Structure 1
Amino acid sequence: MRFVYLTVIIFFVSLNLRPSITSVGPLLDIIQTDLGISGVTASLITALPVFCMGLFAILAIKLNNCLGMEKSLLIAMSLIFVATFFRMFVHNSFLLFATALFSGIGIGIAGPLITGFIKKYFPNNHGLMGVYSVSMVIGAAVASSFSVPIYERMNESWQYSLSFWSILAVPASLLLLPLLNKAEKSKDTQPISALFVKNKRVTLFMAFFGCMAAIFYSLTAWLAPIVQSMGFSHSQSGLILTLFTVIQIPVSFLIPILVTKTGNRKIWLLVCILLEVIGIVILLFHFSPWAATIFLGIGAGGLFPLALLLPIQEAKSIEQTISWSAMMQFGGYLLGALGPTFIGLTVDIFDNFAPAMVGLLIIICAMLVTVLKIGNKTGHGEHVNEGIH
């Protein structure tokens, strides 16, 4: 029963890490028109949470030291709940950005702590990382799937549609409460400055994660508007965005298993990158967006869990794993936040999505370079002996 209880906590906490972001995409042009904002400004609704996910990944370590993992996770869920719920009352861009900011802080705190939670309660079962990644994809899929139907049901109020997803934080918070009495503060009292890793491998992980996140969140924010620019309706574009996220559910679960069985991480990373290239090219030349979305969904679904596994496979201790994960997400999400903004800027300048698609192909090429350098090393060489300074 305890195994099931703790697994359910991982599921519900992880479920909250994407809906406040992915619920925006299908409604982005409606929000943009209603608030009278530009493409760059609209992109900040997605870019701000992603930026915060990176910036506050380091704060997660500090909170863990001061309050303990369980209390820190409860604080994160509370931030996500409040920020998402108050979107119901948003009537200007400033307040909308404020909700994006605080939901991003909550997500940024929770991300590295879930890795630590799995390490603490399931030290010999890395398979629970699959629950973490799949739960995030499910949350993203559900939010992107039902944002438009909820918008239509709630008198075409995008505010109510966005705020609806605060409900997911309630069970996550309630499930964490019984653990608070048993929570312990971390024995690792390193200052935040000590967490900056002088390690070439971690720098590579960060660069790879940044490219991966830039592509993923660009597609999350702009795939629906791209499809709409090709003549598809809001409902159809919402279904395409749903397809993008739903495909990732089985892929994000199966790819890590295949990597473990084959022992060849590099080949699976390259396959996922190739699929993303094919998907972007299909969109660029206005072929079937359904086919493009299948390729993009499989590529994105494989790349994210493989990115999460990199520190686990190569770090030598639990503490090092958590620190490396925090640093990878810190730099990676900060870089990733630039993706949606870049798309918005190119759309404002060129008034079409073709330059943005070319830009995404360039980012994918940069990601390919990092993957070739990362290779198949698994933490047994000298590269992991560099310390945390």
Structure 2
Amino acid sequence: MRRLQNMQRASYQAASASSALPIIAVVVVALNLRPALAAIGPVLDRIEAASGLTSTGAGALTTLPVFLMGLGALAGSSLQRCIGERRGIALGTAIIALACIARLFWFSRVGLLASAAACGLGIAAVQALMPGFIKRHFLLDAGRIMGLYSTGIMGGATLAAATSAGLSLLLGWETMLGLWGVPALLALVLWHTSSASEAHGHGVVSGSVNAPPLWRSVRAWLLLFFFGVGTGAYTLVLAWLPPFYVELGCSEDAAGYLLAGLTLMEVVAGLAVSAVVDRFPDRRGPLAAALFSILAGLVCLVAMPLVLAFPAMLLLGLGIGALFPLSLIVTLDHADEPASAGRLTAFVQGGGYIIASIMPFAAGWLRNHSDDLMQAWVAMAVGIVLLLLLALRFSPGKRVI
């Protein structure tokens, strides 16, 4: 009897370890989806001086990847059909690793822009395929795994922002950027190992053949605009908050720590939303709270950026971190069944990321022509006010498809 119990216990432990490995792989892959973007901001002035990039070109280092994230979301179903989720995620992770490593040797203006575009392609592939992989392979625990995946994304941004200035002083900014290829390679190995331990072959879940096209739905476009402008706040802060504070006299380390603290607050807010959102079937209250938090943070940046640096970091981080998952939850609220939800989410994220990609580029253009980022924060505040008015229309019970 004791021998049988020991065998059962060993079998349970082996099953637990087997199921834990894919979860760990999902989180480790997620950790590599933002460092290529977040590591640039704290050392952007040094990159501009060394590479000859203008502020507009520097903004493109964030704009290009985010724009390609949008295209990737729109092409996600085609990519899934062509190469499958596992191989597609592996390919995307490999592209991120190679693009980062290329920055060790190709750090000219052209090289930086090319590697940014390549990183965007890799991130786009992973982001387009990972939600479907999670829904299909963690059917009974998809919500918790999605929460871990989102937390991993924001955690990677926090780590990159906190360490980039120090590593660049120690090793040089080119080496610092290139080193982010190493954890991506480790993620690729872990992903391959976890995939090899799982069964192969999962069918593609197709949507309704006779579903009406989403571009005819006004509500779908409103959701797209809402997600795009809200995510634009994240890309704008990610690209330009550290250079803004360096211009005001802060050190690169201090500016990097501000961005790291902000992204850490995003992690906290995202976890909080996952814990309490079911208590609010009418999402307009949490949406308003998140938007007012972002607006208050922007007011701090415009009014007294040095004196109110800590409140600005806290308010922006909590607001942006809550708004991202809430935007996706509200989008899913507007669909009646899983296939429709997938179509609507792809439409909203695809167009939304394309809108969001404009923000850092536009801020760079403004900085080029006025030597000041204050106008960018004011423009973003106007966008948040528009989102507050738009959020009033997202009442419960309305559907797009």
What TM-score do the two structures reach when normalised by structure 1? 0.91
Bigger CA radius of gyration:
2
Distance (whole Å) between structure 2 residues aligned to residue 195 and residue 323 of structure 1: 10
> Partner of 1:106 in structure 2?
122
1:26 aligns with 2:26: no
Q: Which runs of 5+ in 1 are unaligned?
A: none
Alpha-carbon distance change, 199 to 347 in structure 1, aligned in 2, over 3 angstroms: same
> Partner of 1:41 in structure 2?
57
> Partner of 1:68 in structure 2?
84
Query: After superposition, what is the alpha-carbon deviation per residue over 1:37-77, rounded to whole angstroms, capped at 9, x for unaligned?
Result: 21111100011100111012222211101221111111111
Q: Is the 8 A contact 1:80 1:169 kept in 2?
A: yes
| Sequence identity percentage | 26
Deviation larger for 247-256 or 26-35: 247-256
1:164 aligns with 2:179: yes
SS of alignment partner, residue 88 of structure 1: coil
Alpha-carbon distance change, 183 to 50 in structure 1, aligned in 2, over 3 angstroms: same
Distance (whole Å) between structure 2 residues aligned to residue 293 and residue 32 of structure 1: 25
Q: Is the 8 A contact 1:284 1:354 kept in 2?
A: yes
> Partner of 1:261 in structure 2?
279
Distance (whole Å) between structure 1 residues aligned to residue 298 and residue 166 of structure 2: 27
Q: Is the 8 A contact 2:63 2:358 kept in 1?
A: yes
Distance (whole Å) between structure 1 residues aligned to residue 163 and residue 85 of structure 2: 32
Alpha-carbon distance change, 42 to 5 in structure 1, aligned in 2, over 3 angstroms: same
- Picking from 151, 162, 168, the partner of 1:134 is 151
Q: Is the 8 A contact 1:69 1:183 kept in 2?
A: no
- Picking from 120, 127, 133, the partner of 1:117 is 133
Deviation larger for 229-238 or 304-313: 304-313
Q: Is the 8 A contact 2:76 2:129 kept in 1?
A: yes
Q: How does 1:291-306 map to 2 (within 5 A)?
A: 291-306=311-326
Q: How does 1:225-304 map to 2 (within 5 A)?
A: 225-286=243-304, 287-304=307-324
1:187 is displaced (CA, Å) by 5.2
Q: Which amino acid aligns with 1:111?
A: Q
Distance (whole Å) between structure 2 residues aligned to residue 258 and residue 264 of structure 1: 12
1:112 is displaced (CA, Å) by 2.7
Q: Which amino acid aligns with 1:73?
A: I
Distance (whole Å) between structure 1 residues aligned to residue 122 and residue 394 of structure 2: 30
- Picking from 161, 167, 180, the partner of 1:150 is 167
SS of alignment partner, residue 182 of structure 1: coil
The alignment covers a number of residue pairs equal to 378
Alpha-carbon distance change, 251 to 79 in structure 1, aligned in 2, over 3 angstroms: same
1:217 is displaced (CA, Å) by 0.5
1:355 aligns with 2:372: no
SS of alignment partner, residue 75 of structure 2: helix
> Partner of 2:238 in structure 1?
220
Distance (whole Å) between structure 1 residues aligned to residue 385 and residue 260 of structure 2: 26
Query: After superposition, what is the alpha-carbon deviation per residue over 1:242-284, rounded to whole angstroms, capped at 9, x for unaligned?
Result: 1111111121111132111233421111111101111111111
Query: After superposition, what is the alpha-carbon deviation per residue over 1:172-228, rounded to whole angstroms, capped at 9, x for unaligned?
Result: 32233242661335253999x998554333322211110011111110000001111
Distance (whole Å) between structure 1 residues aligned to residue 330 and residue 126 of structure 2: 19
Distance (whole Å) between structure 1 residues aligned to residue 394 and residue 148 of structure 2: 25
Alpha-carbon distance change, 204 to 15 in structure 1, aligned in 2, over 3 angstroms: same
Alpha-carbon distance change, 365 to 189 in structure 1, aligned in 2, over 3 angstroms: closer
Distance (whole Å) between structure 2 residues aligned to residue 204 and residue 124 of structure 1: 32
Distance (whole Å) between structure 1 residues aligned to residue 208 and residue 281 of structure 2: 34
Alpha-carbon distance change, 169 to 323 in structure 1, aligned in 2, over 3 angstroms: farther
Q: Which amino acid aligns with 1:86?
A: A
Query: After superposition, what is the alpha-carbon deviation per residue over 1:333-369, rounded to whole angstroms, capped at 9, x for unaligned?
Result: 1000010011111111112122112111111122223
Distance (whole Å) between structure 2 residues aligned to residue 43 and residue 20 of structure 1: 14
> Partner of 2:365 in structure 1?
345
Distance (whole Å) between structure 1 residues aligned to residue 333 and residue 140 of structure 2: 13
> Partner of 2:3 in structure 1?
none
SS of alignment partner, residue 316 of structure 1: coil
> Partner of 1:175 in structure 2?
190
Q: Which amino acid aligns with 2:225?
A: A
> Partner of 2:6 in structure 1?
none
Distance (whole Å) between structure 2 residues aligned to residue 80 and residue 183 of structure 1: 25
> Partner of 1:331 in structure 2?
351
